Structure 1
Amino acid sequence: MKFSITLSAISKQLSEVASIAASSIVKEDITQNILINVTGNELTFKATNYNIELQTKIPVMDVVTEGETTVSANKLKETLASLDQNSDVCFDLIDDKLIISNASVSYEIRARSSKDFPTFEVDNIVQTIVLKQKQLKNIIESSSFCVSNEDFRDYLKGVRFELNGTKLEIFTSDGHRMAILETNLENQVPTENAFGAIITKKCALQLSKIVEENGESDVTLSFTKNAVMTTCNNYSLISKQIICGYPNVRTVIPRTIDSQISIPRDTFANLIKQVSVLSSKRVNGVTFNFGDGKVDLRSENSEHEVATATLPLPEAQTPIEISLNAQYVRDVLSVIKSDNVVFCFSQPMVHVLIKPETEINDCGIKSSYIISKVVV
């Protein structure tokens, strides 16, 4: 295998694919490597960690010989990062060495045969979900922060997709907060039966990277019994699903709203950040007292140090008190783009529902967030 290409033509794609390679403690685990294949005038990079596989295809014109091998993803990425991004780089496989060189520098990296490189077995597709690239990116960026990183309950470790007809609903939760998103899919073939699946957080975040933020073209998520896959913008991704039951989280969503208050988003977020400086590190709690045309914010730590702030809110006339994790509230405020947010309260006062003042955003997505109260 021998070919040459301008480094800038492969840097972004290589970085994305290399990020999938496993960081295994087993020294000879081949999933720490990235697979390189040249066939015709097409260069392929592929990596996997056994749970997710990502590959990209790049046109390459200067091919001397075709071939395939694998090399350490980290070494390849670090080696190429040290070179001039505008230089032409030659890749030359000689025996068990991959020689990488430009006009002034040369590296020899140990190569390993690709015969043991794992591949995903793809089952029959049972459901497809078709949405715009910008919709998918917005969905993931607006919900993935609620996914649990540590909880032993598997259903909290991913992003739940539920499709009924052409209506798509997304749920994420870590047990203390939940994101609820809803949209109607213009180009979706209506389902006869409701469909549900959970994709991993890593899969969701990788999908967000390979779709375009303002992309109007469609992307299709194809679901098999155990996996999800897509091809988009010269990337192909396959990932295992999280296979487990999913509870009826709709029971958490309040049926009636007793009180709702519109709040300027940026101003409120800044006050929460300032007041939470002295909050208890255990729960990071800030107490919100609404009423008399204002909201008072208060935090106190174990050393009885106190921070307070007040924000005038003409709508806040009914007395309401609730303590919330400050970071959870700030996370929600950071993904909502409307100038104002609406805090909705119901009895019993066990949580707050937060939503944008504009019900449906530019991507056609309706979103709301539930945060459970904390004891401070």
Structure 2
Amino acid sequence: MKVTVERAQLLKSLGHVHRVVERRNTIPILGNVLVRAEQGRLSLKATDLDLEVTETLPAEAAQPGATTVPAHMFYDIVRKLPDGSQIVLESDGERAVLAIRAGRSRFTLQTLPESDFPDLAAGEMGHAFALPAADVKRLIDRTQFAISTEETRYYLNGIYLHSADSAGTATLRAVATDGHRLAQVELPLPSGAAGMPGVIVPRKTVGEVQRLIEDSEIGIGIELSTNKVRFTIGNVVLTSKLIDGTFPDYGRVIPQNNDKELVVDKHEFEAAVDRVSTISSERGRAVKLALSAGKLVLTVTNPDSGSATEELEVEYASDALDIGFNSRYLLDIAAQIEGEAAVLKLADPGSPTLIHDRDAKGALYVLMPMRV
């Protein structure tokens, strides 16, 4: 194999694929990236057996071929080569090395045979649809914070993507929960998504898609089967296994009859919670919300360090209520509110609270209270 490629393009592509490779691997081939030169292009592929990323970039292939090299070392070498340089990659099958040349720099890396590299065979993908990058970004950004990190409840370690009926309109809905809070975002069901299976996209896959979208302004192709999902973002194809589990019936925890409505300025509320929570302990993090007509008093008490209170003018006309929340969870949800005002629908100190954006539709959040 002999191929010439521009450094900036190779670095960008390696930046996308090498992230999938775990730093420590018991299987040596999984620490490598597959490099394949074909007519007029170079493709790079990396996998951890659950997730596979392939990217294709233009190149001058004088001699087609393929090999695998250590992913992180290859990335570091290309990163340190001079800007604007042309990089020549040449593999010698007999010696099992890849030579990397750019200007006066020359490196050789040990290789492993292409035939050892695993292929995450996707099989038949039964459903395919496309979404604008901005829509996929919104689905992920507004729900990702609520993904559980508790490995024992593995079925909560991702975003549940499914078709749903919302007031008679077919929607594509993303839901994440960790048992303390829940995030739900939906948008009109795209063409081709009708009848799609409900799937749980793993946290690592969600993170990779999120990073790839940041480099993309174009539409994103999504293909699904019952056990795999594939995202096509420009020249990058990301294929992932899905979480094999059943997502809980989240509809049962979304309160329907919370009759006490609080409307707060999102920025004032966020800043006030942030200020008073400075006093809270790492373990406690509890902030008390004392509600009365037109007024909200936020209080944090920490026996070890002191207390803090802050008063806000709000829209509230129901009975007085004291309720406590984890301040970090409150801040996480406040950060998702896109408009100027947040609406909190409350019932009593022991029941979940429903939070949504007063102006933007399609997103809602549920937060379990704390005892204070």
| Residues 141-290 of structure 1: pairs in structure 2 closer than 5 A | 141-164=141-164, 166-188=170-192, 190-191=194-195, 195-211=197-213, 215=217, 217=219, 219-290=220-291
Provide closer, same or farther for how the CA distance between residues 230 and 108 of structure 1 changes in structure 2, counting only shifts above 3 A.
Answer: same
CA offset at residue 238 of structure 1? 0.8
CA offset at residue 358 of structure 1? 1.3
Provide closer, same or farther for how the CA distance between residues 332 and 58 of structure 1 changes in structure 2, counting only shifts above 3 A.
Answer: same
Runs of 4+ in 1 over 6 A off after TM superposition: none
Provide closer, same or farther for how the CA distance between residues 51 and 41 of structure 1 changes in structure 2, counting only shifts above 3 A.
Answer: same
CA contact (8 A) 2:4 2:61 kept: yes
CA offset at residue 63 of structure 1? 2.2
Equivalent residue letter for 1:64: A
CA offset at residue 133 of structure 1? 2.3
> Which range is displaced more, 241-250 or 298-307?
298-307
CA offset at residue 316 of structure 1? 5.5
Q: Secondary structure at the match of 1:131?
A: strand
Q: Secondary structure at the match of 1:277?
A: coil
CA offset at residue 126 of structure 1? 3.1
Question: How far apart, in 2, do the equivalents of 1:224 and 1:36 lie?
Answer: 28
Equivalent residue letter for 1:343: L
Question: How far apart, in 1, do the equivalents of 2:347 and 2:305 lie?
Answer: 31
CA contact (8 A) 1:151 1:174 kept: no
Provide closer, same or farther for how the CA distance between residues 104 and 216 of structure 1 changes in structure 2, counting only shifts above 3 A.
Answer: closer
Equivalent residue letter for 1:6: E
Give the number of aligned pairs.
366
CA contact (8 A) 1:54 1:236 kept: yes
CA offset at residue 314 of structure 1? 4.1
CA offset at residue 16 of structure 1? 1.1
CA offset at residue 179 of structure 1? 0.4
Q: Spell out, residue by residue over 1:65-116, the C-alpha distance to the aligned partner (whole angstroms, 9 max, x if none).
A: 1111111111011111112232222212233222222113222222221211
Q: Secondary structure at the match of 1:153?
A: helix
Provide closer, same or farther for how the CA distance between residues 202 and 93 of structure 1 changes in structure 2, counting only shifts above 3 A.
Answer: same
Question: How far apart, in 1, do the equivalents of 2:2 and 2:342 lie?
Answer: 57
CA contact (8 A) 1:71 1:112 kept: yes
The match for 1:75 among 51, 54, 73 is 73
> Which range is displaced more, 12-21 or 291-300?
291-300
Provide closer, same or farther for how the CA distance between residues 323 and 77 of structure 1 changes in structure 2, counting only shifts above 3 A.
Answer: same
Query: Partner of 2:115 in structure 1?
Result: 115
1:38 paired with 2:37, answer yes
Equivalent residue letter for 1:371: L
Provide closer, same or farther for how the CA distance between residues 164 and 130 of structure 1 changes in structure 2, counting only shifts above 3 A.
Answer: farther
Question: Could you tell me the TM-score, scaled by structure 1's length?
Answer: 0.91
Q: Spell out, residue by residue over 1:200-246, the C-alpha distance to the aligned partner (whole angstroms, 9 max, x if none).
A: 011122222333688463x3322223111132211111101111122
> Which range is displaced more, 129-138 or 235-244?
129-138
Q: Secondary structure at the match of 2:148?
A: coil
Question: How far apart, in 1, do the equivalents of 2:218 and 2:113 lie?
Answer: 40
Equivalent residue letter for 2:37: V
Equivalent residue letter for 1:375: R
Question: Could you tell me the TM-score, scaled by structure 2's length?
Answer: 0.92
CA contact (8 A) 2:5 2:58 kept: no
Aligned residues: percent identity? 24
Query: Partner of 1:369 in structure 2?
Result: 365
Question: How far apart, in 2, do the equivalents of 1:49 and 1:91 lie?
Answer: 24
Question: How far apart, in 1, do the equivalents of 2:137 and 2:315 lie?
Answer: 36
Query: Partner of 1:93 in structure 2?
Result: 91
> Which range is displaced more, 154-163 or 283-292?
283-292
CA contact (8 A) 1:262 1:343 kept: yes
CA contact (8 A) 1:226 1:243 kept: yes
Provide closer, same or farther for how the CA distance between residues 354 and 229 of structure 1 changes in structure 2, counting only shifts above 3 A.
Answer: same
Equivalent residue letter for 1:53: E
Q: Secondary structure at the match of 1:118?
A: coil
> Which range is displaced more, 231-240 or 45-54?
231-240
Query: Partner of 1:29 in structure 2?
Result: 28
